[in-house]
C-alpha cells in the first residue's frame, strides 16, 4: 500500500528521538520545579547562594514553564534554549558558590538542552523572526 492510501505516515527516527528527549527533559524539569516549590533542601541551597528565596521561586517558575514549553511543538526550541541558560547558572552556582556543590546533573542537563536547542533552532528563529543563514558555496 502506498502512503496516501493507508492513512498513516511514518515519522523519521530523528523526530521520534527528539520527542523522547523532549518528554524526558520535561519530566525532569517538572520534577525539579516541584522540588523548588516544595522547599526542604532547596531552601537551604538558596540560602547558601545568598540572594534570597525569591530566586528559588523564579527558578521554579522558569523550569516548570520551560518544561511545558518543551511539549508544545512550536516552543520546543526556545524552551530548550531557555532551560539551557538556567542550567548554565545552575552549573556555575554548583561549581563556584555552593560549598559542597555537585555540578554533574546541571552539566548533563545543559548539554542535552543545548543540543535540543541546536536541533530545534528553526523554531527559535521562526519565533524571533530571524531568517536562517543562506548557504554559501564559498564556505563549503
Distances 73 to 67, 107, 109 between C-alpha atoms, Å = 12, 25, 20
Tens-digit pLDDT profile for residues 8-53 = 666 688 788 889 999 999 999 999 999 999 978 888 888 888 998 8
Tens-digit pLDDT profile for residues 118-139 = 998 888 888 888 887 777 555 4
Between CA 82 and CA 86, with CA 84 as vertex, the angle to 5 degrees is 75
Q: Which three cell numbers, joined as nine digits, stand for 51? A: 540572594
pTM for the model stands at 0.82
User: Could you say which DSSP state residue 73 is in?
Assistant: G
Tens-digit pLDDT profile for residues 73-126 = 889 999 999 999 999 999 999 999 988 888 999 999 999 999 999 998 888 888
d(CA 76, CA 120): 7
Amino acid at each position: 500500500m502506498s502512503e496516501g492510501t493507508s492513512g498513516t505516515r511514518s515519522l523519521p527516527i530523528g523526530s521520534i528521538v527528539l520527542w523522547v528527549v523532549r518528554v524526558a527533559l520535561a519530566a525532569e524539569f517538572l520534577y525539579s520545579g516541584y522540588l523548588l516549590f516544595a522547599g526542604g533542601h532547596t531552601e537551604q541551597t538558596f540560602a547558601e547562594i545568598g540572594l534570597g528565596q525569591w530566586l528559588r521561586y523564579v527558578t521554579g517558575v522558569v523550569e516548570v514553564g520551560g518544561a511545558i514549553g518543551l511539549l508544545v511543538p512550536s516552543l520546543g526550541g526556545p524552551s530548550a534554549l531557555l532551560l539551557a541558560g538556567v542550567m548554565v547558572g545552575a552549573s556555575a552556582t554548583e561549581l563556584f558558590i555552593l560549598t559542597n556543590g555537585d555540578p554533574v546533573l546541571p552539566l548533563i542537563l545543559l548539554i542535552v538542552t543545548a543540543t535540543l536547542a541546536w536541533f530545534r533552532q528553526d523554531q527559535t528563529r521562526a519565533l524571533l523572526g530571524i531568517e536562517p543563514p543562506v548557504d554559501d558555496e564559498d564556505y563549503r
